[in-house]
A and B are shown apart, each in its own frame.
With several copies, the nearest count.
Chain A
Amino acid sequence: MKFAIALFAPPHAPSSRRALRFAEAVLAGGHEINRLFFYQDGVHNASGSIVTPQDELDLPAQWRAFVERHKLDAVVCIAAALRRGVLDAQEAQRYGRTAIAVTPPWELSGLGQLHEAAQQADRLVCFGGV
């Protein structure tokens, strides 16, 4: 089956780790992930700026490794990311900010990408809250 996975919670919420372990199990089970979509506070999972204490799980790093290893389509909602200060090079330049937190393979894009993924997948699974 084809899964679209959406994440709405920040890295320190347990649902971020749950979404990642679920996504891993989807691929391990022989299924496909057509897109990851990070919305609301979930956009922080794509941030390269987060510094996790050494003895704790580094979710943004684990997400990045997962996306790179499996060459996944990984989209961060651009409107949600701007409001939360999670910018890529292009948006930082556009708005005159210096801090670049999002780099490829993450891509900033619009909510149309969430709908497209949901339409094309067999299942949409959203993670959020705690």
Chain B
Amino acid sequence: MTTLHLLSQSPFTSPLDSTLRPLGVRDGLLLCGDACHALQPGSAPLEMLEHLPASVAVHALEEDLQARNLAAPERVQVVDYPGFVELCTRYDKVNGWL
């Protein structure tokens, strides 16, 4: 049973490691809200994300990148709300890390 993990907390106030620990190799990640700051070039969280297995698909919510003036690195796929819904159907379950 694959899981789509939703992350919304800032990786600087709520460290990423315990949320990435239960990540399976076929799981997906969707960054929204302040979790998008993990994509800040030169930050430790981005390095953690880049070390995830290539089989883990990493996505980010478009509006949150725009609001923060952030660009998505190559491995990150940008989705809008219809894309968010579609992602939920693609994985067996969804886990929102509060």
Q: Do A and B come from one complex?
A: yes
A26 contacts which chain B residues (CB < 8 A)? 85
B98 touches A25 (CB 8 A): no
Q: List B residues at the A interface (Cβ < 8 Å).
A: 6, 8-10, 32-34, 61, 81-82, 84-86, 88-89, 93-98
- Residues 112-128 of A, flagged 1 when their CB comes within 8 A of B and 0 if not, give 00000000001111111
Which of B9, B34, B61, B89 is close to A123, meaning CB atoms less than 8 Å apart?
A: B89
Which of A21, A123, A125, A130 is close to B33, meaning CB atoms less than 8 Å apart?
A: A130
Q: Whole-angstrom distance between the alpha carbons of A115 and B59 in the complex?
A: 29
B82 touches A18 (CB 8 A): no
Q: Whole-angstrom distance between the alpha carbons of A128 and B33 in the complex?
A: 11
* Main DSSP-derived SS at the B contact region: mixed
A:27-69 near B, CB below 8 Å: 28-29, 31
**Is A1 interfacial (CB 8 A cutoff)?**
yes
A25 touches B84 (CB 8 A): yes
The 6 closest A-B pairs by CB, nearest first: A25-B81, A129-B98, A128-B98, A126-B96, A125-B94, A25-B85
A127 touches B85 (CB 8 A): no
Q: How far is the CB of A66 from chain B (nearest CB, A)?
A: 14
| 16 interchain pairs, CB-CB under 8 A | A3-B88, A18-B8, A18-B61, A22-B85, A26-B85, A31-B85, A123-B88, A123-B94, A124-B94, A125-B88, A126-B94, A127-B6, A128-B96, A129-B96, A129-B98, A130-B9
